[in-house]
A = this chain, B = another copy of it.
Amino acid sequence: MKQEKVLPAAITIFGAKGDLARRKLIPALYNLYADEHLPDQFSIFCVDFLTIEQGAYRDWLLEGVDQFSRTGKADRQKWAQFSKSIIYIQGDFMQAATYTTLKTAIKKFEDTEKVRGIRMFYFAVAPRFIEPIADALCNNKLCNRDTLDRIVVEKPFGTDLDSAKKLNRYMSKRFKEKQIYHIDHYLGKEMVQNIMAFRFANYVFEPLWNNKYIDHVQISVAEEVSVGKRGGYYDSSGALRDMIQNHLLQLLCIIAMNCPKQYEAEAIRDEKVKVLKNIRPFTTEQVFKNVVRAQYTAGRVHGEDRPAYRDEEQVAKDSNTETLVAAKFFIDNDRWKGVPFFLRTGKDMPRQSSVIMIQFKDSPHKIFKDDVLPNRLMISIQPELEIGLLFEGKEPGLHMKLVPVEMDFMYKGNYMQSLPEAYEALLLDVLEGDATQFMRADQIEWAWKVVMPIIEAWKKSPKKGLQFYEAGTWGPKAADALLKPHAKAWYTFDHESEGATTPAAFDDSHAPSRVDGNGTPEMSNPAEKEAEQETSHA
């Protein structure tokens, strides 16, 4: 579907020879172009330190598109058209000359098009380059029109509250808040956006969405991948900073927030900030009671040998960095008082599964003696996209006997076309000036405030409570024990194996009957899967 075209766009990618540019940004821009979502006039300025010929650079990008684009191999004719607009600019991010060259190139594009359109600057760079690039953009007046010029920054947004505040202050002296798009690609995911529609366009869920009816919430992002080549960055970060502080707390906000006044960036982000502000802060003692951290040891995932975390490249042999976190949070407001929000993420787990599970309370008055199953609403974000409601029905037959059944809505089967990737949606949002799915500076700071007590407690006692789990398992027992008495095990969405909906979570292993019959998952290419998870760019 062709949307209304936006102004001409001068798009600059800093870090153009990096993984993110090749795996995500260029494939996303190419798909936006192919689907006619880009403006008719656009140019992509690709800035990086390495020297490479224009043609060789474009070929390197084309290989990336062929390998990582959701649409598969690029159409050669479309690519030829598209790639004409790609201009590689060799330059050191720390050198003034780089920005002079860039400015000349952008001006030339704008002079040709006779319109001063949108300028987007994508910071696909290591954190240490953010401030110098921002400063240079400011000094060169490259990003000075607040209605037209936009900066896109990738996480990590600082490494703790102080550094995040410092970074925000630095940026806010140079740009207007509304010019800065803090990207959290989880917010661009189809199913995550659908949660907003699901919650706020359907009045039947709102009456149930509170501590009177909800027992607890589980938000789990299990990753099949290991730390891979990201050891250098990861070892100084860990799962708490890499996943919980951003992705998982953002998912928590979407589940817990009140309905915004309007579907509009400021109103939505105001409501999300309110949630973060209301999360109960941990004392040091509470950290060790409510947060489990663990690190993987050698094991096997899908029959593939995996080394221990401490044997990964660029990881310290005595590292205490966590590759798995499970935490129990409470939100101290009227709606959520007393409802635990369990968050878990880990690497080297048996399979990829990003899910949200909302478990409802049991009826205060039961009339069936075999009514043992609480209702559950299950939202699978990836790899499957699905919403399901677990309930009890009558088992067909001559007597009234209850059996767990599921009502499902699946994207598969309903929507046959390949779904746009998060980066496509988010890059188009930036071009259109829609900040709805981006994080505001205060959101980032409040999210840091939530995790700071954990960071500090672990810093003080680096080994205290650190657990180990074998690669290819669902993590240490302590992570399951955290759920008590609300559940016995973490919910993991499994559409392939009948009844694997954590039967352990129920006393008598009720295996729900499933409406199934669909084929393989939407996203089954292992390269794609890896790319989907390879979100940072150390």
Contacts and interface: CB of A to CB of B under 8 A. Distances in A.
Q: Secondary structure of the A side of the interface?
A: loop
A201 B368 contact: yes
A34 interface: no
Interface stretch (A76-84, A220-228, A302-310, A396-404): A396-404
Interface in A411-461: 411, 413-415, 417, 419-420, 424-425, 428, 436
Given A397-B1, A399-B3, A408-B407, A202 B375 contact: yes
A398 B414 contact: no
A261 B402 CA distance: 18
A72 interface: no
A527 interface: no
A270 interface: no
Given A207-B207, A207-B208, A391-B198, A396 B415 contact: yes
B413 A515 contact: yes
A183 B507 CA distance: 38
Contacts of A37: 398
A55 to B, nearest CB: 31
Interface string A362-376: 111111100100110
Contact of A263 (B3, B367, B392): B367
Contact of A387 (B364, B407, B413, B417): B407
Interface residues of A, number: 73
A484 to B, nearest CB: 22
Interface string A178-203: 00000000000010011011101111
Contacts of A398: 3, 32, 37, 420, 424-425, 428
A504 to B, nearest CB: 22
Contacts of A393: 194, 197-198, 201, 387, 409
- Counting chain B CB atoms within 10 Å of each CB, the highest count among A365, A387, A406, A425 belongs to A365
Interface of A: 1, 3, 32, 37, 190, 193-194, 196-198, 200-204, 206-208, 212-213, 259-263, 360-368, 371, 374-375, 387-389, 391-394, 396-400, 402, 405-411, 413-415, 417, 419-420, 424-425, 428, 436, 513-518
Given A197-B368, A396-B411, A409-B515, 8 more contacts: A197-B402, A201-B368, A203-B363, A204-B360, A204-B391, A259-B365, A391-B409, A515-B515
Which 10 residue pairs are nearest across A and B when measured between Cβ atoms?
A203-B363, A197-B394, A201-B392, A194-B394, A263-B367, A407-B407, A414-B513, A407-B409, A202-B391, A201-B371
22 contacts: A32-B398, A190-B394, A190-B396, A196-B394, A197-B368, A197-B400, A197-B402, A198-B392, A201-B402, A203-B361, A203-B362, A204-B208, A204-B360, A204-B375, A204-B391, A208-B208, A260-B367, A262-B367, A387-B393, A388-B407, A408-B408, A413-B515
